Structure 1
């Protein structure tokens, strides 16, 4: 009788464990690419998370911006940076072999390899291909490619970019630009597809699928959509369009990319008054709730660069990362990661941010990194 009772209890405990795992799998904090992971995958991520110190977990949430050259492996290791963003200076007057060697040295020093990102949008924003030592001609803008060859040409161009980046050791292209702009006077026009919501939605989905096929990360930007907003690199920009206008136009390419499996979305610093009249989108809980609950996005949310002028009016320079985490971001893009890292660590230690909140973001990041074969 005792043996039967013991077996019954053991079976019940197994069922309970499976039930709890299933519950976790349906929690957006445990998923990315809008799918449900296996119980084994979830357990593996939890094990990784348990092995990490608080400092390592906080580091995973930072995308260090290196405006002046390639970071040293020691810098990446010191701050446990989960991601690095490279600019033109990392490639100017260098060749492929030296860049591959430098990025390999960064990977070799990290227990979990970092996401290595660039903005290789094509056209006016090319960090690498406008250096002749890397490519005979820069990648053309999506607008130019689409005009000459339609969506098939866009897909081919995406595969070409992915192969180009992968060869160097880069695993995330901060593209596609999903902003809708058909007015040449708009700040974002030169970087956009220059088409309406329907065609831009097809573009977002096509680029996302091509990146998933090539196992290169992509990022839908700049949510909730620039429209005709001004440049937020220099200062504040206010978008006064209604939420209905956004839902019927600007949200659509992001939703299409999300439905296609996009692993990340970058949020802009625009103030969109119909969504939050007091805070930039990047620092607004209301905007992040739209992404999570209205658009069912369960992947990684990335801030636009927190060093940009539009942020300084709303959060002290050393606290912008703390504010961004509280808004719902997972990866904090900044060149001031040394000070911001300390501020986040202090915020967790004094109870402003819970370690559970940090864990939620790091789960998403680790799931994405697992998809990218970074550990």
Structure 2
């Protein structure tokens, strides 16, 4: 009896032990599978991060490699978006190592599209680094290209009119068609969109702006920049930090007493939207923002430009409005305006007087007034955008 009980107990013990071992093995297998799946996922994530990092590092190394091969003259030339000359455009581009040309209506009026294309192609073919070919094609009152019927049957309406005619989808179509027209001619940078926030229909900037409503301007900025980015044409947000109710700085000095806090609540928001959606550049106005820097127009103010870099985290190109405008000439000579613009933190200078402003900036670097590191940082940002747009 005792022996039988012993045998039975041994049998039961063996069965229990077997079950425990089996369960343990199954648990280990499950954990092993989960661990294996987790390892695969982590490995895939790591590979993706490595690939992204490699792409960024490659682009960064290309910028730095190019910079290391450039002379001071070549670097300073890259910072100038020169007014397109009536003749000898290729010679000027080569002799002054220009970073780009900005075209105006007179440069299109007597030319067919094929002539414009051939002029641009001829310049780009002889440059080691392609130029920015830029234009103001906002729609409405500012249409440098489409105002002439050989380029488009009718001029582009304003983005606001496009919205009124067909809603947000029409705004997207407007941006896409505009970008494609520019691209077909050889242009790679549009000095648009206007993201200023006018306060009323009486304001100078009202007819060029999209709306007085913040939500609408923000939505427009997002759609416009995203569409252009998809089409590989660069955008320039303007006019930082926002015109508001200011007067026209083409013809005089504009003083703006709004505080930075007030600007952050309204006017700076569309600019931040454009930054977040990948706009390549921001154009700074000549308005004097007295609450931020009472002594200098925004274009020449390190304090105003620091808002873009430090407060808003913008890492792209900062661009002056045209340095020939009356709103700037009250503060500096032609040569000094270019030097001060660089010292303020601008990367790209729109210049009709590049023949004297480029030598002025070079001289300021050579005599130690402008640290060469400032030039290098600006040129790296320019090269980064050119790589992004496929110009290098």
| Residue 156 of structure 2: aligned partner | 139
User: Take 1:284 and 1:151, find their aligned partners in 2: how far apart are those partners?
Assistant: 36
* Residue number among 104, 109, 113 corresponding to 1:96 in the alignment: 113
Q: CA deviation at 1:85?
A: 0.3
Over 3 Å counting, the alpha-carbon distance change for 1:116 and 1:242 in structure 2 is same
1:194 Cα deviation from its structure 2 partner: 2.1
2 CA distance for matches of 1:280 and 1:97? 40
SS at the partner of 1:211?
helix
Measure the CA separation in 2 of the matches of 1:273 and 1:153: 39
Partner residue of 1:246 out of 263, 275, 294? 263
Are 1:84 and 1:117, in contact at CA under 8 Å, matched by a contact in 2?
yes
Provide the secondary structure at the position in 2 that maps to 1:367. helix
Q: 1:45 is matched with which residue: 39, 53, 63?
A: 63
Task: Give the Cα separation in 2 of the matches to 1:171 and 1:107.
Answer: 12
Give 1:317 shift. Answer: 1.6
Structure 2 counterpart of 1:26: none
For residues 319-330 of structure 1, what are the structure 2 equivalents within 5 Å?
319-330=336-347
Give SS of 1:234's match. coil
Aligned to 2:367: 350
Consecutive aligned runs of 4 or more in structure 1 exceeding 4 Å deviation: none
Judge which range, 233-242 or 51-60, deviates more.
Answer: 233-242
Which residue is 1:190 aligned to? 207
Does 1:110 pair with 2:116? no
Q: Quote how far apart the aligned CAs of 1:303 are.
A: 0.2
> What are structure 1's unaligned runs of at least 5 residues?
1-34
Shift of 1:37: 6.0
Asked if residue 222 in structure 1 is aligned to residue 239 in structure 2, the reply is yes
Distance in 2 between residues matched to 1:113 and 1:95, nearest whole Å: 23
**How far apart, in 2, do the equivalents of 1:97 and 1:85 lie?**
18
Residue aligning to 1:259: 276
- Is 2:250 aligned against 1:233? yes
Once residues 62 and 298 of structure 2 are traced to their aligned partners in structure 1, the CA distance between those partners, rounded to angstroms, is 33
TM-score by length of 2: 0.85
1:306/1:320 contact within 8 Å kept: yes
Higher relative contact order (CA 8 A, sep 6+): 1
Paired residue for 2:308? 291
Q: Distance in 1 between matches of 2:244 and 2:105?
A: 27
- Among candidates 183, 190, 215, match of residue 166 of structure 1: 183
State the alpha-carbon separation in 2 of the partners of residues 232 and 100 from structure 1. Answer: 33
Shift of 1:196: 1.1
Counterpart selection for 1:149 from 143, 166, 169: 166
Q: Does the 8 Å contact 1:188/1:227 carry over to 2?
A: yes
C-alpha distance in structure 2 between counterparts of 1:273 and 1:357, whole Å: 26
Deviations 1:91-110 (A, max 9, x none): 10211111100111111121
User: Which residues of 2 match residues 274-285 of structure 1 at below 5 A?
Assistant: 274-285=291-302
Q: Are residues 1:54 and 2:72 paired?
A: yes
Paired with 1:223 and 1:295, the residues of 2 have a C-alpha distance of: 12
Classify 1:212/1:53 alpha carbon distance in 2 versus 1 (closer, same or farther; 3 Å): same
Q: Could you tell me how far apart the structure 2 residues matched to 1:70 and 1:236 are?
A: 32
Q: Is the 8 A contact 1:69 1:87 kept in 2?
A: no
Check the 8 A contact 2:59/2:387 in 1, yes or no: no
Answer whether contact 2:282 2:319 (CA < 8 A) is retained.
yes
Give the Cα separation in 1 of the matches to 2:279 and 2:82: 22
Q: SS in structure 2 opposite 1:92?
A: coil
Question: CA 1:36 to 1:292, structure 2 compared with 1: closer, same or farther past 3 Å?
Answer: farther
Corresponding residue SS for 1:190: coil
- Gaps of at least 5 residues in structure 2 are 1-52
Q: Which has the larger radius of gyration?
A: 2
- TM-aligned CA deviation for residue 150 of structure 1: 2.2
Match of 1:87 among 104, 114, 124: 104
Q: Distance in 1 between matches of 2:241 and 2:87?
A: 31
Aligned-partner Cα distance in 2 for 1:237–1:173:
25
- The structural deviation recorded for 1:256 is 0.7
Select which of 280, 302, 307 maps to 2:324.
Answer: 307
Question: Which whole-Å CA distance do the structure 2 matches of 1:36 and 1:238 have between them?
Answer: 47
Which of 60, 63, 76 in structure 1 is aligned with 2:93? 76
How far the C-alpha of 1:36 sits from its partner, in A, is 10
- Could you give the per-residue CA deviations for residues 22-50 of structure 1, whole angstroms, max 9, x where no partner exists? xxxxxxxxxxxxx9962222112111011
| Cα pair 2:281 2:317 within 8 Å, conserved | yes
Given that 2:302 and 2:343 are in contact with CA atoms closer than 8 Å, whether structure 1 keeps it comes out as yes
TM-score, with normalisation over the residues of structure 1? Answer: 0.88
